[in-house]
Amino acid sequence: MPPDSPDLAALPLASTLFLPLTGNPAGFHHFASAEWMLRRDPALRRVVLILSNGRHPDPTKPGIAVDAETRLAVLRAALAAVADPARSALARRAEVAGEVLRVSPETVLVSTLEFAHARAVPTAETLGLIRAAHPGSAEPIHWFAGSDLVRRMAEPRIFSDPDVRVLA
């Protein structure tokens, strides 16, 4: 993993939200979703965006056209801009409302956990890796997924029954 990828074992599960994304491209909707979740649950202090390695575990979807390093660079640039009203619609809207964004370069981390694999990494496996970094912990993993992932959970070629149990 690159040095800026967070050490999962050092992140307290109780205050961390994990959000998987392809980063194809990453943008406003990902940051807005993360902002909404941080506001919804004040115990959450940070978001870890788990960037896909580009190999999709869903056999019905094509591979991701943009390589992982480019998607990582775009995500980093978007993250650097997210809290700046001159560069971010989300920050401008917060400023107009008299609010301070909870999503910022200080509270959002990017994980390239999946980059270590040259194959599709199923969501249940990624959750297992996060859980393995916290042996013996009974704390839940705060996981936020888009509706596309939730819909795919009903497809047995993508999510087996044991996978769905891991995600539940």
DSSP secondary structure string, the chain?
Answer: --TTS--GGGS-GGGEEEEEE--TT--HHHHHHHHHHHHH-TT--EEEEEE--S--S-TTSPPPSS-HHHHHHHHHHHHHHTT-TTT-HHHHHHHHTT---S-STTTEEEE-GGGG-SS---HHHHHHHHHHTSTT--PPPEE---HHHHHHTT-TTTS-HHHHHHH-
Give the model confidence (pLDDT) of 97-126 as tens digits.
Answer: 999 999 999 999 999 999 999 888 888 888
Judge whether residue 147 has pLDDT over 90: no
Work out the percent of the chain whose per-residue pLDDT is above 70. Answer: 80
Give the model confidence (pLDDT) of 4-52 as tens digits.
Answer: 688 999 999 999 999 988 777 777 788 999 999 999 999 999 999 999 8
Give the model confidence (pLDDT) of 76-85 as tens digits.
Answer: 999 999 999 9
In which band, very low, low, confident or very high, does the pLDDT at 132 lie, cut at 50, 70 and 90?
A: very high
